[in-house]
Amino acid sequence: MYKHALVVGGHGTIGQIMVANLNKLLNPPIVTVANRQSHHAQLAQTADVIFFTVKPQDFSAAATATKPGISNQLIISLMAGVSTTTLVQQLNNQRVIRAMPNLPAKIGLGMTVWTATTASTTTDKEFVQALFRLMGQQLEVMNDQMIDQATAVSASGPAYLFLLAEQLLQAASYIGLPADQARLLVTETLRGASTLLADSAASPASIRAQVTSTGGTTAAAITTLPLAELQQYWNTAIMAAYQRAKELSH
């Protein structure tokens, strides 16, 4: 198994998440963080696994700095828009895993989607599965296209929930609830509802029906919403995110 991990760009949010969880997984933990001033190639020579968590626009420079020290180590990318093909070509290395986590990985409740090249070994896959389970749930997919699709749903998804929370808070204020009470009501409602959904085999529609009694308060709210139009808005929004993920891919 792997003893020494190098995290290139480990000072950003995702990099910090990787470092924290690698320190839990590796025994003993040997985790090196490479910043812009680090000698990437020299550090890479002693690493068993190399993570790239830099911004996509900074990858080319990071790859150039790291490549001389790479000799068939496992490469794990957590960068949006950088395809496995690009990773293989720029790093001249076939053992590549591309992953896309989301922000709740910060508290161990994330959703990480990943794909591996054919040169990645069973041990490589077992390693990333163990790592990503520390961050929450993990799902292996077949190719880069599915990573881009997942980016539009799970990686961007927390922002959609936060947007809903913003709007519920504004509506709570509109009907006169104090801000501190509104925040408690909204956050705990969203927490409980999402947990119930995750723990239930029932569809979201059937769970919603349990709350929506005919003639009740929930029905009064939902009947004011243009549900068909809302679905089209979400279709358009998710497609826009997916298209942008594809545009960023190179």
Of the chain, the percentage scoring pLDDT greater than 90 comes to 89
State the pLDDT at residue 63.
94
Residue with tokens 């949010």: 13
Question: For 198-242, what is each residue's pLDDT tens digit?
Answer: 999 999 999 999 999 999 999 999 999 999 999 999 999 999 999
Question: For 111-148, what is each residue's pLDDT tens digit?
Answer: 999 999 999 999 999 999 999 999 999 999 999 999 99
Token pair in block for residue 3:
């003893």
Q: Which long-range contacts (CB under 8 A, 24 or more apart) does 167-171 make?
A: none
**What would the mean pLDDT of 60-85 be, rounded to a whole number?**
94
Count of positions (residues) in the chain: 250
Strand 4-8 vs strand 74-77: parallel, antiparallel, or unpaired?
unpaired
Beta bridge partners of 159: none
Run of H or E residues at 110: strand 110-116
State the pLDDT at residue 161.
97
**In terms of Cα–Cα distance, which of 128, 107, 114 is closest to 20?**
107
The rounded distance, in Å, linking the Cα atoms of 190 and 176 is 20
CATH code for the structural domain at 157-248: 1.10.3730.10
pTM: 0.93
**In terms of Cα–Cα distance, which of 166, 141, 165 is closest to 151?**
141
Residue ranges of the chain assigned to CATH 1.10.3730.10: 157-248
State the pLDDT at residue 11.
82
Name the pLDDT band for 40 (thresholds 50, 70, 90). confident
Domain 4-141 listed as CATH 3.60.15.10: no
